A and B are shown apart, each in its own frame.
Chain A
Amino acid sequence: MSFENEEKAKGYWDENLKLVLKLLAIWAFVSFGCGVLLVDILNEFSFMGFKLGFWFAQQGSIYVFLLLIFVYVKGSNALDKKYGVDE
């Protein structure tokens, strides 16, 4: 066991889960939400020459995916440090 005690281990994992779930919620929202389910509503809006829903489906979702991974990398590395389990 690399954690000082059970409590720390649980704290680390809970915080990690919270971070992951938050990011996955955004992931689902931009792809399944903006790119598919809400696409007709968003298409009413124009964005940089695109219909907004179409833009999310073919461009925007990818940019958000990228951002999500790098936010996760930063967040989880910080978490490792906080609990002293980094390499």
Chain B
Amino acid sequence: MDVQTLTYIVVGITFALYIGIAIKSRAGSTKEFYVAGGGVPPVLNGMATAADWMSAASFISLAGIVSFVGYDGSVYIMGWTGGYVLLALLMVPYLRKFGKFTVPDFIGDRYYSQSARTVAVVCAIFISFTYIAGQMRGVGVVFSRFLEVDVDTGVYIGMCVVFFYAVLGGMKGITYTQVAQYCVMIFAFMVPAVFLSIMMTGHIFPQLGFGAELLDATGNSSGVYLLDKLDGLSTELGFAQYTQGSKDMIDVLFITGALMFGTAGLPHVIVRFFTVPKVKDARSSAGWTLLFIAIMYTTIPALASFSRVNMIQSINGPESQGVPHAEAPIWIENWEKTGLIKWDDKNNDGKMFYSNTETNEMNVDRDIIVLATPEMANLPAWVIALMAAGGLAAALSTSAGLLLVISTSVSHDLLKKNLMPNISDKKELMYARIASAAGIIMAGYFGINPPGFVAAVVAIAFGLAASSLFPAITMGIFSRKMNKEGAIAGMLAGLLFTTVYIVYFKFINPAGNVSENWLFGISPEGIGMLGMVVNFAVAILVCKMTAPTPQAVVDMVESIRFPKGAGEAQEH
């Protein structure tokens, strides 16, 4: 059977599975729609959260990025895992005890203010939309590359599937499909990584192969460590040393921080911890989530280094003399057809050569690194089919989680809590479904007509989460005194500072986006962390000058600080 037929079969089976699960776990009430009834076991919630969190970008692009930038890629590895420590220690147990449905719920109640709620709603919707546009595009790309339908058709198919389980099932449907999607995704990612590790180093665990000695052509240890080899190749070919990187230390520090604090402020992640039965479960669920993420995130840098060495040696040959194009491995030929690998024989010797100097003849797109691993490791066609299903699982699970935040923000935070407080549970559920459907249509629109600024706005999403939601939530828990004036002023200051900085360097003056012009040498990607500091400072200052928090709110803060009684709060 050829790759394409196999891909249709594998993708078809996984889609049928997702839809089947969705039909079995339809939501009947708003509580089921928003938080799956609050009865998800912590381990399963961890798995679902991991799938929710790991997007098409994590699955398809991240290893490729790390592969090309080496140490500099650590900002994503640490940034997108370290945030879970903050979530577990500073936020989720208390938010679970608070026991309502959304992040704006908490901010609105804690700061006894509709304006605070509105600021939070706007942030939540903006962050989620930014994200989802990229996901739908990811769905389209996977479809077009593996199934040879055009990108638009791919997006339509993806929209239909997500529509099915997000609109019908709500959080309940999403949770159980995400569990299935996690399994598909992690299996698809690990199989080629493990085989590549065995092929290159003889280790089953990529995490160990990463630090091991390379095998030579006969399968014996060559006595050269993989990373030493990689450093050697990098310097020889004019790249920065793989284990050193080229970014300024201060910038690495701030980007890592912005991603960590941003992760801890992302509404679609936080809201997942409202679905477990107890405070205790919320704590351990954060641990399980990180465990499931760590399986992939510790493999990513290993895979990045394996494929880097493999790619350079496939192109340049063992002696760095270049390999004749006629003898190139089959994967190079396959990806040349897609235009993602280009060869330009500048010196007309018929050989390929890859370097960072004028001798370079290759143009290799970062995004192929993960998708080409099955071919690099000479794995059979079904593994390639599995990769397609894995990429789709990653994109669909994240889109569904984001859609839920958008629909909840509209039906619950905007309509029920603001504009029409008297609507019935049934009506609210209907509005949630309508909002969800509208969200899918808009996401699909962005998937088909991708705005050129998607990559740039992702920096804004994390920056906003770090500089607005994270400080407001943590101060709401850890300070009894923080009042609404302080919180609102802080959120607005953080938001404004971060947005202005990013918009200036990304849109108004992109030519000036170089380290000499940056404030303290911090790039727009890392400015969210400084924005967070601004938020805290302004909030504390304003709080000192304004009226104290009402006693009822102080009592509420006291009551969310210990677990006893979380079940009762849920039933309200």
Residues in A with CB closer than 8 Å to B207 are 59
Residues in A with CB closer than 8 Å to B279 are 87
CB of B249 within 8 A of CB of A37, answer: yes
CB of B85 within 8 A of CB of A58, answer: no
CB of A49 within 8 A of CB of B226, answer: yes
**Does A41 reach chain B (CB closer than 8 Å)?**
no
Q: What CA separation (Å) do A16 and B73 show in the bound complex?
A: 34
CB of B253 within 8 A of CB of A65, answer: no
Residues in B with CB closer than 8 Å to A80 are 280, 562-564
**Does B82 reach chain A (CB closer than 8 Å)?**
yes
Q: How far is the CB of B253 from chain A (nearest CB, A)?
A: 5
Q: What CA separation (Å) do A48 and B226 show in the bound complex?
A: 12
CB of A66 within 8 A of CB of B283, answer: no
Q: How far is the CB of B285 from chain A (nearest CB, A)?
A: 9
Q: How far is the CB of B517 from chain A (nearest CB, A)?
A: 22
* Given A32-B253, A62-B81, A72-B88, A87:B287 Cβ within 8 A: no
How many residues on A have C-beta within 8 angstroms of the other chain's C-beta atoms?
Answer: 46
Q: Within A61-81, which residues are at the interface with B (CB < 8 Å)? A: 61-63, 65-66, 68-70, 72-73, 76-77, 80
How many residues on B have C-beta within 8 angstroms of the other chain's C-beta atoms?
Answer: 53
Across the interface, A59 reaches (CB within 8 A) one of B89, B283, B298, B558, namely B298
CB of A66 within 8 A of CB of B290, answer: yes
Q: What CA separation (Å) do A43 and B414 show in the bound complex?
A: 52
B208-216, B366-374, B436-444, B503-511: which lies at the interface = B208-216
Q: Within B181-224, which residues are at the interface with A (CB < 8 Å)? A: 207-208, 210-213
For the A-B complex, the count of residue pairs with Cβ-Cβ distances under 8 Å equals: 142
Q: What CA separation (Å) do A9 and B555 show in the bound complex?
A: 12
Across the interface, B290 reaches (CB within 8 A) one of A2, A36, A47, A65, namely A65
CB of A85 within 8 A of CB of B564, answer: yes
Q: How far is the CB of B99 from chain A (nearest CB, A)?
A: 12
CB of A62 within 8 A of CB of B77, answer: yes
CB of A57 within 8 A of CB of B89, answer: no
Residues in B with CB closer than 8 Å to A76 are 93, 283
CB of B252 within 8 A of CB of A54, answer: no
Q: What CA separation (Å) do A84 and B564 show in the bound complex?
A: 8
Q: What CA separation (Å) do A42 and B492 show in the bound complex?
A: 40
Q: How far is the CB of A40 from chain B (nearest CB, A)?
A: 8
Interface of A is mostly: helix
Q: What CA separation (Å) do A31 and B212 show in the bound complex?
A: 23
* Given A50-B210, A62-B294, A20:B89 Cβ within 8 A: yes
Residues in B with CB closer than 8 Å to A59 are 207, 210, 298, 301
Q: What CA separation (Å) do A80 and B565 show in the bound complex?
A: 12
Q: What CA separation (Å) do A25 and B211 show in the bound complex?
A: 28
* Given A35-B256, A73-B284, A87:B301 Cβ within 8 A: no
* Given A2-B564, A69-B84, A87-B567, A57:B290 Cβ within 8 A: no
Across the interface, B280 reaches (CB within 8 A) one of A61, A69, A83, A86, namely A86
Q: How far is the CB of A57 from chain B (nearest CB, A)?
A: 4
Fill in one digit per residue for B20-58: 1 if any A CB lies within 8 Å of its CB, else 0.
Answer: 000000000000000000000000000000000000000
**11 pairs of residues in contact across A and B, judged by CB atoms under 8 Å:** A35-B74, A39-B249, A49-B210, A54-B243, A57-B74, A59-B207, A65-B82, A66-B291, A68-B89, A72-B283, A77-B283
Chain B interface residues (CB < 8 Å from chain A): 66, 71, 73-74, 77-78, 81-82, 84-86, 88-90, 93, 207-208, 210-213, 225-227, 243-244, 249, 252-253, 256-257, 260, 278-280, 283-284, 286-287, 290-291, 294, 297-298, 301, 558, 561-567
